[in-house]
Structure 1
Amino acid sequence: MLLTSHDDFTPLREVIVGSAAHYLSHERDVSFELFHHEHLAGYRSDWAYPRLTRAAAGHRESWAIKARYAEELHEDVEALAAVLAGLGIAVHRPLPLPPGAAPIAGLGWEAAPTPALNIRDNTLILGTEIIETPPAIRSRYLETRLLAPVFTAYWQAGATWTTMPRPTLTDNSFDLSYARDTATTLGGPTEAVDDPRPSPYDVGVEMMLDGAQVLRLGRDLVVNVAQNNHEQGVRWLERHLGDRYRIHRVWRMADNHIDSMVLALRPGVFLARHAGIRDLMPDPLRSWRYLVPPEPDAGAFPVYDDSDLVLTSPYIDLNVLSVDEHTVLVNTECTGLAKLLEAEGFDVVPVRHRHRRLFGGGFHCFTLDTHRAGGFEDYLS
């Protein structure tokens, strides 16, 4: 096993594919609501503190996922792993979450654990270093422990393994400015977020930063920053990495992750959610080409009930995975995007992923590329 990955587009040699085993519910607490607040249609997270602190009628902290959806998700993730293996890529897997897993607990909170499915979130691979990033959702606090056997194997083979400081995740750990800013809350304000409840474990606003907020371009890292939790995480990265990398902040391109807004398909070419992304990018990257797919076809998505929790926008299919600079894995249902990429000379590998809006991720989210053939290049000079 060899850990070396500097980008998202050079030839993929080794990858970890997440596991959807026993993904049966969402733990809806303050941390979950704040993280997903832009997409909780009908259950807006602007209500998070009032509903949780006042035990609003009908609120269920554990939100059940229909068994059929969970089974179909598991089928699609296993098929994704098989497709990658069929392309000659070494595929590694996390430990599956055991059935009936006991709750995990922090200082003043408890949550049912989440399987290691969207594994791009809590880990950042920079060259030969594994960096476990500080999670923002309580139920995902120990998620990387399910990846520990794979990480251990890479460490024993010579990789560096680092963990960023772990947040305490009390109510007062979170910067609420993004959720409270009506200019960035889709659909407008509903109910004000109440003041967080004090805890004897409060340390103030803490660093929280997902690996999926970082766009890797060799020596350059583009990081989406939407509030102070993210800013503190970027400052840690700057101190840790020193002058080895150039870090470029983009301000509020999204509430959290950048990889459903813009992805690099090859040097000089981005896949972007909309044309305005160019203006949000660092100056040296505005001269690249920006491919904007057609609007999503509503018929490409399953129809869900009011009791089903939708966690992503219809643009989630932009979350593709590049096998190399010419080959891209695209959701079978996203025919408009596939046609755009084929017209640009890319080979498209269609892969089924039915319930991407229910589980908060696409192919890029579900994977963590650990070995790509590309080196530590300077794409901006």
Structure 2
Amino acid sequence: MLQTICKKTVKLCRSPTAVELFKRGLLTTSVQKQANKDSPVVSSYNGWDPLEEVIVGRPENACVPYFGVEVKAITSQDRWEFFHQRGGTSFPREHLAKAIEQIEEFCNVLRGEGVTVRRPDVVDWSKEYETPDFKSRGMYGAMPRDVLLVVGDEIIEAPMSWRSRFFEYRTYRKLVQEYFNKGAKWTAAPKPLMTDALYDQEFPVDDFEKRRDLVLSGKFVTTDAEPAFEAADFARAGKDIFAQRSQVTNQAGIDWMKRHLEPEYRVHQLYFKDANPVHIDATFNLIGPGLAISNPDRPCLNLDIFKKAGWKIVECPHPTLSDSHPMWLSSKWLSMNVLMLDENRVVCDANELPTIKMFESLGIKTIKVDIRFAYSLGGGFHCWTCDVRRKGTLQSYF
């Protein structure tokens, strides 16, 4: 029946251009929308319903970001020489090749678990670009979790806050366009100008003690000159979305999300005792209905909503990663940056035996994968992915 209707619809498109657009999937019709109503191409309300389709990032051509104040604010001084030497150029080639190999294996594991894997375009991130306010080079298309947030059947494109990530959305654009053509909602948050006003130029990047005290008092390298945020600072639990203010997500960005999502969703702000917050998913990770894992070094300061709803909060064991392993843009706590395939299966670091035992004690099957060379670029399994479709419905867990 659907095929017959589609043929009739094509005949009604008198213009050859319209017919061609329809054939190529670039013309959305009521028939297409109705087909996707019954089987949405994009649908994800949390991080634990059965995973059906996911975007996995690409390490190819990844470049070290220019070392501006926004990057200095999240890095320790023992790594500064690396950024001074390599800012705007490729990450070490041999290391990058191993990361590519590991992410390919990760994709194969996901496919073996029955998950459809989509990949963004390969981009030359070394090209310099210029806006009226700044010059930069790109960084990478490795972390879709930072750029894209799926809430129900809507893809929200984050505006980002680093100049090196200004055009990062381009690597995902064909995929997002495809999902839109098939019926998904698509929202791009306002792109910040990223003038000097967005960054506190006096932020004490070279004094860890002062930097920590400022952050703990609620002051960050990003100002509220304009909304800016990264999608990985938001965690989804059905009707409730949790956000943290961080070095890459400002209060104006959280306010924009609240106004965009409410009243259909409730947006809550979480606060952590964290000297250098950047993304919520290596600090507090919602892994099941009524179950979250927490970083003991970065405790949450306002857990009332979880306690009242009877949630179980499990502290993660400390990571075992050696200090000698290069972690240019992240911490060892990527050990808790896991990807749930459903409530009972988790993809986690094959080397982190204490974390594996923790999951097993919770009755969760561990799918062990090694992506430690990919870790060095700044993300774990959760960061390297964006779940496009999970089999589940919108519910309230609070």
Return the alpha-carbon distance in structure 1 between the equivalents of residues 345 and 210 of structure 2: 35
Contact 1:275–1:290, Cα closer than 8 Å, also in 2: no
CA distance, structure 2, for counterparts of residue 271 and residue 365 of structure 1: 16
Displaced runs of 4 or more, over 6 A:
180-184
The question of whether the paired residues in 2 share the 8 Å contact of 1:253 and 1:261 is answered with no
Q: Any conservation in 1 of the 2:100–2:374 contact (CA below 8 Å)?
A: no
**Residue aligned with 2:243, SS:** strand
User: 1:275-290 residue pairs with structure 2 within 5 A?
Assistant: 277-285=299-307, 287-290=310-313
CA contact (8 A) 1:133 1:211 kept: yes
Map of 1:352 onto structure 2:
370
Among the aligned pairs, what percent are the same residue? 26
Query: Greater relative contact order: 1 or 2 (C-alpha under 8 angstroms, separation 6 or more)?
Result: 1
- What amino acid does structure 1 have at the position aligned with 2:114? G
Task: Measure the CA separation in 1 of the matches of 2:78 and 2:208.
Answer: 16
Contact 1:217 1:379 survives alignment (8 Å)? yes
Aligned to 1:199: none
How far apart, CA to CA, are the structure 2 residues paired with 1:158 and 1:109? 36
2:64 maps to amino acid? S
Deviation for aligned residue 1:40: 5.0
* 2:260 partner SS: helix
Deviation at 1:65?
Answer: 2.2
1:31 matched to 2:70? The reply is yes
Q: What corresponds to 2:44 in structure 1?
A: 5
Displacement after TM superposition at 1:14 (Å): 0.6
Partner of 1:139 in structure 2? 164
Match for residue 225 of structure 1?
Answer: 245
Instruction: Choose which of 349, 357, 360 in structure 2 pairs with 1:339.
Output: 357
CA distance in 2: counterparts of 1:229 and 1:376, whole angstroms: 26
Contact 1:96-1:115 at 8 Å conserved across structures: no
- Give CA deviations for 1:306-339 in whole Å, capped at 9, x if unaligned: xxx6221211111000000000000111111001
CA-atom RMSD in angstroms: 3.0
Alignment of 1:244-259 (within 5 A): 244-252=264-272, 254=274, 255-259=277-281
Q: 1:188 to 1:135 in 2, by over 3 A?
A: closer
Equivalent in the alignment of 1:165:
190
Flag the 1:253–1:377 CA change in 2: closer, same or farther, 3 A.
Answer: farther
Structure 2: distance between partners of 1:358 and 1:227:
19
- Runs of at least 5 residues in structure 1 that lack an aligned partner in the other structure: 49-57, 190-194, 197-202
Q: Is structure 2 residue 136 aligned with structure 1 residue 116?
A: no
- Give runs of aligned pairs for residues 160-309 of structure 1, distance below 5 A: 160-175=185-200, 185=211, 205-226=225-246, 230-252=250-272, 254=274, 255-274=277-296, 277-285=299-307, 287-299=310-322, 302-304=324-326
Deviations along 1:335-377, whole A, 9 cap, x unmatched?
A: 1100111121100000111225521100000000010112111
* Deviation per residue, 1:146-182 (Å, 9 max, x gap): 1111101110111111111111112211257986796
In 2: Cα distance, 1:248 partner to 1:145 partner: 30
Structure 2 residue ranges without an equivalent (≥5): 1-39, 216-220
Against the structure 1 CA distance between its residues 125 and 350, is the aligned structure 2 distance closer, same or farther, given a 3 Å change threshold? Answer: same
Greater percentage in helix = 2
1:95 and 1:288 map into 2 onto residues whose CA distance is: 39
Judged with a 3 Å threshold, the aligned counterparts in structure 2 of structure 1 residues 86 and 238 are, in CA distance, closer, same or farther, namely same
- The whole-number CA distance in structure 2 between the counterparts of 1:183 and 1:116 is 33
Query: Amino acid of the residue matched to residue 162 of structure 2?
Result: I
Deviates more, 1:244-253 or 1:272-281: 272-281
**Partners of 1:362 and 1:184 in 2: how far apart?**
29
SS in 2 for 1:277: coil
Q: Number of residues paired by the alignment?
A: 350
Residues 206 and 229 in structure 1, CA contact (< 8 A), matched pair in contact too: no
Distance 1:87 1:6 in 2: 20
User: Higher mean Cα deviation, 228-237 or 121-130?
Assistant: 228-237
Q: 1:303 to 1:155 in 2, by over 3 A?
A: closer
> For residue 348 of structure 1, what is the amino acid of its counterpart?
T
Measure, in 1, the Cα distance between the counterparts of 2:87 and 2:289: 44
Q: 1:73 aligns with which of 87, 99, 107?
A: 99
- Matched-pair contact (CA < 8 Å) for 1:338–1:348: yes
Provide the residue aligned with 1:379 in structure 2: 397
Separation in structure 2 between the aligned mates of residue 20 and residue 227 of structure 1, nearest angstrom: 23
Structure 1 residues 316 and 17, CA gap change in structure 2 (3 angstroms)? same
What's the secondary structure of 1:247's corresponding residue?
Answer: strand
Cα deviation digits, residues 107-131 of structure 1 (max 9, x gap): 2322221221011011211101111
